[in-house]
Amino acid sequence: MQMQPILVPRRLYQAPPPPIARQVETDEIRLIGVTMHVSRDQEVFGEGEPADQVYKVVRGAVRGFRVLSDGRRQICDFYLPGDVFGIEPSDEHRITAEALTDTVLVVARRSALGDESDGAASRRLWALAMNELRRSQDHALTLGRRSASERVANFLVDMAERLGGGENLELPMSRQDIADYLGLTIETVSRTLTQLQVSGMIKMAGCRSIHLRKPRALTELCA
């Protein structure tokens, strides 16, 4: 058994590329649609419902998840302000979407985004779908091969970047949501965050307000 100290990575972690697709969303995608208010824990759409609409988060946040027959839940992704969700591989939703907090969405028919006769719109839809694919593949890598502390570090760095608040983040989700996203239990998430705080990498001010004190070290922890 060889327990080794933290190694200097051979190849320094490269920050993920700028969120092209989200820029596309923010800058180019103006959904023509209806504004919709969803309160905390309310369902936006459920598994099995027809997937003919897309949603853009204006304010608040959403979790998209799947549930095994015995109740185990896996959150596929969180959707934050600016994100578009609801694009799915079939004409029926395979995931369920629920608001994390009181949330404002814009809803449009999917055809409003990806008409074949409109090259630009079609490219936008493609970019959104490919962004989903990229994130799902990243997620699978995390779930298959990263340790609990690597998962949590990854999560914090990703959220900090996506929420855009620099090194301060206000998490819109509970510990249980984080656990179900990272494939861990709520206790492991809690303990790992405590460890990160003890090691000086983060500082928690209330359980949803987290300051990244050593973003570089955290990034290296991501593996």
Partner DNA sequence: GTTTCGCCTTGATCTTTATCAACCGGACCG
Partner DNA sequence: CGGTCCGGTTGATAAAGATCAAGGCGAAAC
Q: Does 107 bind a second copy (CB under 8 A)?
A: no
Instruction: Bin 183: left if φ > 0, else alpha if -120 < ψ < 50, else beta.
Output: left
205 touches, from DNA, a second copy, none (C-beta below 5 to 8 Å by class): none
Q: Does 5 bind a second copy (CB under 8 A)?
A: yes
Q: Does 71 bind DNA (CB under 7 A)?
A: no
Q: Which of 73, 135, 191, 203 binds DNA (CB under 7 A)?
A: 191
Q: Does 15 bind a second copy (CB under 8 A)?
A: no
Which residue, 76 or 193, has its beta carbon nearer to DNA? 193
Answer for the pair 167, 203: CB distance below 8 angstroms, yes or no: no
Phi, psi values for residue 139, rounded to 5°: -65, -45
> How far is Cα 61 from Cα 169, in angstroms, rounded to an integer?
14
- Euclidean distance between the first and final Cα of the chain, in Å? 21
In order of 141, 150, 152, 160, 178, the CA distances from 12 in angstroms are 18, 15, 19, 20, 26
Q: Does 137 bind a second copy (CB under 8 A)?
A: yes
> How far is Cα 19 from Cα 36, in angstroms, rounded to an integer?
26
Size of the site for DNA (CB under 7 A): 29
Answer for the pair 175, 186: CB distance below 8 angstroms, yes or no: yes
Q: Does 149 bind a second copy (CB under 8 A)?
A: yes
Q: Which of residues 120-159 bind DNA (CB under 7 A)?
A: 147-149
For binding to a second copy (CB under 8 A), which residues are involved? 1-11, 13, 17, 20, 66, 68-70, 72-74, 76, 88-90, 94-95, 116, 119, 122-123, 126, 129-134, 136-137, 139-141, 143-147, 149, 180, 182-183, 191, 194-196, 198-199, 223
